[in-house]
Amino acid sequence: MLAFAARRLLVSLGLVWVVASLVFLVIHLIPGDPAELLLSQGGIAPDPAAVEELRERLGLNEPLWTQYLTYMGGLLRGDFGLSLQDEHPIAEEIALRLPRTLELVGMAGLLSVIFGVPLGIAAAMRAGGALDRILSAWAGFALSVPVFVVGTLAVLVLAQQLKLVSAGGYVPLARDPGRHLALLMMPAATIAVGLGAVVFRVMRSSVLEVLEREHVRAAQARGLAPAAIIRRHVLRNALTPVVTVVALHLGSLLGGTVLVEFVFNWPGLSGYLVRAVEARDYPEVLGIVLVISTLFVLLNFLVDLLYAVIDPRVRHG
């Protein structure tokens, strides 16, 4: 088992290195000069000497391979470098923003489960009935509406027209927990509309499948109360695929909450990545992508280990 874990760990580290190198190459290959961009803000022509000086200062005049080695050397020391825009430590900024995205994604997942699981069960238990048809139609609609449409509508109706909530923004938890939660709910609920529909669908089909199993039929034949059957015999079995689907979606949401962060002014990691790409802030882009990919790889590594624990054949496969 230990050898298997070590092998997987090595592969995971290799993957992270490949991702970092690829991103380094790609971001340097696309047109756009960070020094020129920074000094050209607002449609202004910068002094070429100033641009050259800034390039020199930022190390952008070094050969690409030197920049690569310097960056990788920094990474080995745990140093993500400084932002090209204001020399702010990137690790510090990621440490600030990652929890916000995790919080957003986590809350979205929670809301999805709160909505999706019970509604999925209810629909499955009344398969083909009015409730099932209504909920399934809702799920289809929720899945087909883009997240930015849901978000924009929420802002328009709830914030702008009804003035029930803030239009967006962020307040640190430590400063004002209540307002922090209030500001978190809108973007999280927006993500949860689509994700909840996914959970609903998976839950519904999973429950339907479990309801057909023999042990459930036997329980029904024994005259057990439907609630008890659901709780004891259906829910646990039906939840497994839901957990897998939710985990997969949450993983992809780590770097994919750009639109929601933008629409609600939530200062998370995705928005940070987009702005870094726009500014061609190479160290920032690399640092963020590296963190996201490391989380993915880590997640896969843990899943691999879990599979190995569940099924010993995997270790020798």
Nearer to other proteins, 182 or 243 (CB): 182
CB of 125 vs other proteins, minimal distance in Å:
5
Backbone angles phi, psi at 59, to 5 degrees: 80, 15
Nearer to other proteins, 14 or 172 (CB): 172
Encoding tokens for residue 142? Answer: 């929720």
Residue 154 to residues 1, 107, 110, 193: CA-CA distances in angstroms?
50, 17, 19, 11
Closest CA to 259 of 115, 155, 158, 139: 155
Nearer to other proteins, 171 or 295 (CB): 171
Nearer to other proteins, 245 or 285 (CB): 285
Nearer to other proteins, 74 or 89 (CB): 89
Nearer to other proteins, 250 or 260 (CB): 260
SS3 annotation, 284-314: HHHHHHHHHHHHHHHHHHHHHHHHHHHCHHH
CB of 48 vs other proteins, minimal distance in Å:
5
CB of 316 vs other proteins, minimal distance in Å:
44
CB of 172 vs other proteins, minimal distance in Å:
8
Non-local (6+) Cβ contacts of 232 within 8 A are 219, 224
3-state helix, strand, coil in the chain (%, to 5): 80, 0, 20
CB of 298 vs other proteins, minimal distance in Å:
26
What is the DSSP annotation of 29-83? HSS--HHHHHHTTTT----HHHHHHHHHHHTTTS-HHHHHHHHHHHHHTT---B-
CB of 166 vs other proteins, minimal distance in Å:
5
Nearer to other proteins, 42 or 317 (CB): 42
- Which residues pair with residue 82 across a beta bridge? 89
Buried/exposed 44-63: b ≥16 CB within 10 Å, e otherwise:
eebeeeebeebbeebebeee
Residue 278 to residues 98, 101, 260, 286, 309: CA-CA distances in angstroms?
19, 20, 18, 13, 44
CB of 50 vs other proteins, minimal distance in Å:
4
Which one-letter amino acid corresponds to residue 216? V
CB of 156 vs other proteins, minimal distance in Å:
7
Nearer to other proteins, 86 or 214 (CB): 86
Closest CA to 200 of 104, 111, 101: 111
